[in-house]
Structure formats: C-alpha cells, structure tokens
A and B are shown apart, each in its own frame.
Chain A
Amino acid sequence: MPLLRLVGVSKRYRREPPPAVDDLSLSMEEGDLLALLGPSGCGKTTTLRLIAGFEDPDEGQVVIADRTVAGAGRAAVPPEQRGVGFVFQDHALFPHLTVEENVAFGLHRQNGAHRRARIGDILDLVGVATLASRYPHELSGGQQQRVAVARALAPAPSVLLLDEPFSNLDADLRGQLREDVAALLRATRTTAVFVTHDQEEAFTIADRVGVLNHGRLEQLAAPETVYHRPATPFVAQFVGAAEFVPGVVTAAGIVTEVGVMPNPDALAAGRSVTIVLRPDDVSFEPRVDAGAVVVDRQFRGSEWLYCLELASGRRLYSSQSSTATVPAGTRVEVRVDPVHVVSFPAG
C-alpha cells in the first residue's frame, strides 16, 4: 500500500500557461527516499508545499497514508493535521526558543516524561545533544540544519519533506551533512521527499529521482536509469552533460557522422533520430590527417574535459583521464562507444 500518492495534481498561480505544477502523479512506499530534481521554477518546491498543505491544488488529489488530504471535492486538511514534517531551506528555527524547545515544539500533545525522552533520543540521533540549551543564533549553519531535521522528525511524521535542505551550506559541510541525513533517514525508515537542483545530491541520497520541467514530471526512476536511459531530451540534457547528434536508422544500425551505433530498441529502418552522447561515451586518438580537432580543454581534477570540433562543425565533449594531456589544435580521430544508446525521434 503506497504511503503517499499524488493523483493528477495541478496548481496555477497565474492565468497563463504553463501551470506551476501540471498533472503530476506519483506514489511512494513506506521508507522510500525520493528526490525531486529540476531547474529553478520547475515546480518542485510547489509540489512539496502541496503535499505539506501550505498550498491547495487546483486539480487532483493528495493522499497520505490512505487519507485524502486534498482534492476530491472536500475541504483540504490543514497542514497541522497532516502529520508531515518539513525542513525549510532557511531552517526556520524559532529564534526565541532553545534547541531543546524547538525540538519540543511539535511534541505538545505528549506528556512530560515521554516528551523529554523523545527529545533526548532525537538530539542524540542527529548528533546535537550537547547543544540542547543553546539558541539558534549561537549555532553554525550545519548545526542549525541538524536541529531543523531533528525538530521535523520529533513528532514522527509519516512523511518528511525537505526543501533544498543543504543549499545554504558550504560545499564541504554539505557533503558530510548529506551523508549523515541520508543515513539517518534510512536508519529510521523515514519516508522522505526532498527537493534539489543539484543532481549529485539527488543521485547520492535518493532511491528514486523525479525530474521536473515546467511543472511536468518528465521521468521518475532510479538514479542510474535517469542517467543512462533518460526518457526525454530535457532529462538527458539536465542530468549530466549531453550532446545531441542526428542519425538515420538503417539495417546496420543508426548511422551518424561519428559512426554507426547499435539499434537496441529495434527502431524501424529509415527513421530520422537524435542520439544522446555523454562526454564519457566519446574518446579520441591523435592522427595527423583526421577530420576533427581539439578546440579547447578544461582541467577537472581527475580528468580533462575536451571540446572537439568535427569536420561538420558540430562540437562534442569528451572526458579523458588526466594522466595524458592533448593540447588544443591537435587533429584527432573521434570514437564513440556508448554503453546505452539513447535515441529520440528527430524534430
């Protein structure tokens, strides 16, 4: 039985299209970790707010633990009665309350002894037990984030929602906290949805990733599927770098200017398609009379990212180990060897 279900949910702020959230459906089992990924303005935060009840959908339903909390013609259940936890981008810790009091804030229905025990447990769990009597302004950004998670988890919500929870933190702190929070959510078997525009973040934490664009859910799948088998050109481009190369399907495979690709989807011969090439699909060999040339390169630490210009003028990117270096201007022979050939109808 799914714990959280969105059925055809739409939300409009303005009369003009596109809607902020457009006919979005998804479902989550207990313990799932779902990342909503997309550029700013794609509707991912609105989706989170619709689940929390800070906004009401114009169409569709939100179902949490078998209870329809919004839609289906009834008055929406207010946020305080939905049993969802929310971790805000700005933490939103109450400045007039200590860490302990912040965590206790949502435990107002529990009796004293039970509440004290719960506060102690949860502060231990997120690793801020020593900070219990501090005020939020006395904490570092990372500590505030931990307290925010503790506060949201304390009432044991059925779903935890996190809105870009790590975006306010320094890069090195972000990595550490990300791992800690992910471990915590798995250990407590918390069902959680978090919103991010950082694909690395989505990939490292989530079981499944939903890619949103203009309010539409373009793909919802495991991280490796989203990367290797993008469902739409938008997903291909947004998740990892991608170049699109036109090709024609023949009996021998898909013929492109960089070679003949396999045709695993058994597309009918004669169709025009666009195939997706990622930098790690493309390699090259220096050769004096070759048609392509290295026009630029960027050092990326463990690898070089080369920009290659083909004889046709089309540019492709290729990432190569940084042990060897090929200078710009070198003529090269391009080889393409995709692990997964992804093609879309040309158009």
Chain B
Amino acid sequence: MAAGAIVALVAVPLVVVLLSWREPAGAVWAHLWRTQLAEIVGNTVLLAAGVGAGTLVVGTTLAWLVVSYQFPGRAIFEWALALPLAVPAYVIGFVFLGVFDYAGPVQSALRGWLGPGARLPELPSGLAVAIVMTLVFYPYVYLLARTAFREQGLATLEVARSLGRSRAQAFREVVLPMARPSLAAGASLAMMEAVADFGTVATFGHRTLTESIYRVWTGMFDRVAATQLASLLLLFALGLLALERALRRRRRFTQSQRRGPAAVPVRLRGLPAAGASAACGLVLGLGFVLPLVQLTAWALTGVRAGEFGRDFGHLLWSSFVLAGTAGALICAVALALAYAARLRPSAGVRFATQFACMGYALPGAVIAVGVLGPVAWLALTGSAVAVLYAYVVRFLAVGHQTIEASLAKIPTTFDEASHSLGVGTTATLRRVHLPLLRHGVLTAFILAWVETMKELPATLLLRPLGLKTLAIEVWERTSESLWVDASLPALAIVLVGLVPLYLTTRLSPGLLR
C-alpha cells in the first residue's frame, strides 16, 4: 500500500513529462526546432562526454597515484581529494568567473605587469563549463577507482608482476581492465550531474537542455515547450541511469575475493615525487582551496562593508527551515518504503523501491516541470508544496539508502523475538526498530537536508514569490556579477556541504580513508 503510493508520487511527474508530446507543439517549439535545438542537444551531449572523459582521466590518475605511490602529502591528499564534492558546481563556476574576469584579480595583475592592453584569451563557454565540472565531479570516479584499486588492484598487480610484467604493463593489462566497471560507474555519475546541472551552464551562458528549459519557461512562459525539452533531458538521464545500474551490477562480479595484506606503495623520490604532489595539489587547489579562499576573501570584504546584515540571518533561517521540512518528509517517506520492504519483501516492493529511488538521476529541472502539472491541478501553484514535492522526488534516494542500510543491520530475529513475546507490528516498530534506527534516521535527515539546501534548478522554477534560499541568493547575485554579495551564502553552502562528507567518513571509513 505505502509502497504503491510512493511509486505514484514519483511516477506522476515523469508521466507528465513524457505525456507532453500529446499536446501539439506550439510556436515556441517550432522556433526552437528551426533555430537552436540542434545546438542545445549537441552542447548537452558534448558536455556530458567532456565531463565523462575529464573525470575519468583526473579521477583515475589521482586514485592510482594515491593508492600505489608514496609521495609528500599523500596521507592528506588521500582523503582531501574528495573535498570538491562539497562545493556545488555553480559556486566554483562563479568563483572562476570572478577570478578570471576582466575586473578580477588575475587579469588585473596581468595588466599590472604587462601593461593595460594585456588580457587572457577567452575560453569557449563549453570548454570552461567542462573544466569547472571536471574539477567538481572527478571525486565520483576518484572514490570508486580508489576502492577498486585497493581491493583488487594491488593484489593483482603483484600477480602480474610475478608473471613478468613491468609495473606500467601490469597497470595497463590487468589493473585497469579489472577496475573498468567501477571507473565507468563513477564517470556515469559525473555525467548525470553534468546533464542535470543548471547553475554552472547558466552562469557561463552555455546553452544546454537545462538552461533552455529555464529560458523557455521563465522567458517565454511556454509550459508545453519547456516540458517537451524536459522530456529530452529525461531520456538522457534515464540512459545514463541504465548505464550506471548495469555497471554497478557487473562490479559485484569482478570483486576479488583475495584479501591479503595491502601491498606496500612504492616510494617516489625527486622529480616524480614532486610531480605527483603537484598533480594532486593542483586539482585540489583549483577544485577546493582556491574557491574557498576567494569566497572567504570576498565575504570578508562584504562583511567589512556591512553588506550582510539581518537579511542574511533571515535567508539562512528560511533556507534551513525549508530544507529541514524537506529532510523530515524525505525521512518519513523513506522509512515507510524501507519498512514496507522489510514486512513484505516481494518483487513488487523491490521494484517500487528501485523506481522510487530513481529520482537521484533525474535533473531537478525535469522534476520541476513534471511536478508543476499535478500541483497546478491541486491549485497549489506557487506554494512551498510544489518545491517540497520536487525535493522529495529528487532526494528520496539519499534518505532511503541510509535508512535502508541501518534497517538491514537489524536482524529479522529481533522482529521475531518481539512477536514471540506478544508484541505486534506497530509496537515492534516503536519499541525495537525506531530506537535502533535513531542514528540512521538522523544521518538520513542531515544528508537530505544538505542536498536540499544546495539544490538550485527545481527551487528556481517552482519557488513561491518571495521565497529565498541560499542557493537562490547565490544564483541571483551571480547573475548580476555581484561576486561579493554572493560569497557569504555560497560559503555557507560549502560549509554545510562538508557535513555529509564528514558523516560518510565516520559511517563507512573505507569510503574516504
């Protein structure tokens, strides 16, 4: 029952998006078709491909360096290289724009040295976006690659070397092929994020599907055309999701059973050691340290100028409350879903779970467009209900994964023991499961809360007039190139974003360490 209702909850926006083709394409769509659609779709595909390739190269290289070599700073890089995950792409995007802007510190310094005519060549927007996204999304590949290399790589490396392969040959012929499913799964996650991103592409003025949905929606007020664009985006996302799921299944088969002592990393000296440290330092510097330092600098300037007063307090509060409400809703729905699966582990419930947790792969823009239909029908347009609905669909997987994992840790004999002592199902949930799930639910709440706080496209499309969140504030100030005004809310988002990284480290030490 509960599972069915939850499936309907997630399915409705998808169906709305897919059914958009039954309505006749309007003038806007015809115009798009004639002029920009090819460019938009092409840009989206190229961006996904570029980010996929970029994250693969960066993530795999760094993971291999960190796992198999010893060089200065390795112990820190090992976990710190995951930090860029805490920074939303649109934040790094605007920081880069601000830093490399004509009026920014880099170009100003160049003019100071080389005279007033000196300027940096302008990168094509597509390349700039791909670079920024690579810097933020490479940790998906890095983390999965590092696990794969650790679990199987070094052991098989030793086998290959005992059979007469050099280190480089062994890496190419054995380690890399064995880790391929993990690498590809990480890259497909990065590509999902790239396709779903709105803030970065909009900041750089790069035309992709998400950006067009927003433009068609808010600029031309054409709901049908926006929905039809969203359906294209949905197809992309589902394709990447299918890829990722297929790869994840394969990854299980390739897991090596061999668990010997970890092979000792090779100590690098001299130039190679410096090179390895520099490579890790460059990526971490660009993806995390530089943005953080620049944001802090801007924020200090703003604070000294008295920019952030009580308004910022209000903003922080409304953002926290909205995300907190979403987090609580997500936990409640996730708990119902996980509990349904425990009570009746049928194929139907398994499917419902898989389906309901698909939201993590769906771009916020698609969900927003899909949510608007049912919300309008209920006459709730422009209320916080629409935003919350979208958040639940988008981030249910985040809460469910955590709650499901901690529920699975409770042996079924506990349920049976409780029943055999004369205690019914509801009382068992209250007296046995909930006390044991406390930490899991709290963690799920925090993770969902943080994700919601960072969310931009769905919030932007669905928010009621006057509702502001940190992400919205960043977006609005950024689009006016008011870097200083955007810096403090952005800094708040980054700091909040560090919490899940810390939590996942504590919960599964293998993930980050």
> Are A and B subunits of one complex?
yes
CB atoms of B413 and A105 under 8 A apart:
no
Q: Which residues of A contact B376 (CB under 8 A)?
A: none
CB atoms of A86 and B416 under 8 A apart:
yes
Chain A CB within 10 A, most for which of B413, B417, B427, B432: B417
Q: Which residues of B contact A52 (CB under 8 A)?
A: 416, 420
Q: Which residues of B contact A86 (CB under 8 A)?
A: 416-417, 420
| Complex Cα–Cα for A259 and B435 (A) | 70
- Of residues 71 through 128 on chain A, the ones whose CB sits less than 8 Å from some CB of chain B are 78-86, 88-90, 92, 94-96, 105-106, 108-109
Cβ proximity bits A141-156 to B, threshold 8 Å, 1 near / 0 not: 0000000000110010
Total CB contacts across the A-B interface at under 8 A: 65
Q: Which residues of A contact B427 (CB under 8 A)?
A: 108
| Complex Cα–Cα for A95 and B414 (A) | 10
Q: Please tell me if B418 contacts chain A, counting CB pairs below 8 Å.
A: yes
Q: Please tell me if B419 contacts chain A, counting CB pairs below 8 Å.
A: yes
CB atoms of B422 and A106 under 8 A apart:
yes
| Complex Cα–Cα for A94 and B411 (A) | 10
Least CB distance, B343 to chain A, in whole angstroms: 12
**Prevailing SS type, chain B contact patch:** helix
CB atoms of B424 and A80 under 8 A apart:
yes
Q: Please tell me if B423 contacts chain A, counting CB pairs below 8 Å.
A: yes
| Complex Cα–Cα for A83 and B419 (A) | 10
CB atoms of B414 and A80 under 8 A apart:
no
- Assess A155 versus B416: contact at CB under 8 Å? Given A90-B411, A95-B436, A96-B436: no
Q: Please tell me if B431 contacts chain A, counting CB pairs below 8 Å.
A: yes
Q: Please tell me if A299 contacts chain B, counting CB pairs below 8 Å.
A: no
| Complex Cα–Cα for A95 and B410 (A) | 10
| Complex Cα–Cα for A89 and B417 (A) | 11
| Complex Cα–Cα for A108 and B423 (A) | 8
CB atoms of B435 and A79 under 8 A apart:
no
Q: Please tell me if B421 contacts chain A, counting CB pairs below 8 Å.
A: yes
Find A105's partner among B411, B418, B424 (CB 8 Å cutoff): B418
CB atoms of A79 and B420 under 8 A apart:
yes
CB atoms of A92 and B411 under 8 A apart:
yes
| Complex Cα–Cα for A249 and B421 (A) | 56
Q: CB-nearest residue of chain B relative to A157? A: B420
Least CB distance, B428 to chain A, in whole angstroms: 9
Find A90's partner among B413, B421, B422, B431 (CB 8 Å cutoff): B413
CB atoms of B422 and A80 under 8 A apart:
yes
CB atoms of A92 and B413 under 8 A apart:
yes
A/B interface sample: 9 pairs, CB < 8 A = A78-B424, A80-B418, A80-B421, A82-B420, A85-B420, A86-B417, A86-B420, A90-B413, A106-B421
Q: A52-B420, A80-B422, A155-B422 are in contact. List 8 more A-B contacts (CB 8 A).
A: A53-B419, A78-B424, A80-B424, A82-B420, A85-B421, A92-B416, A108-B422, A108-B427
Give the interface of A toward B (CB within 8 A). Answer: 52-54, 78-86, 88-90, 92, 94-96, 105-106, 108-109, 151-152, 155, 157, 161
- Minimum-distance CB pairs A-B, first 8: A106-B421, A92-B413, A79-B419, A86-B420, A92-B417, A96-B435, A88-B413, A80-B419
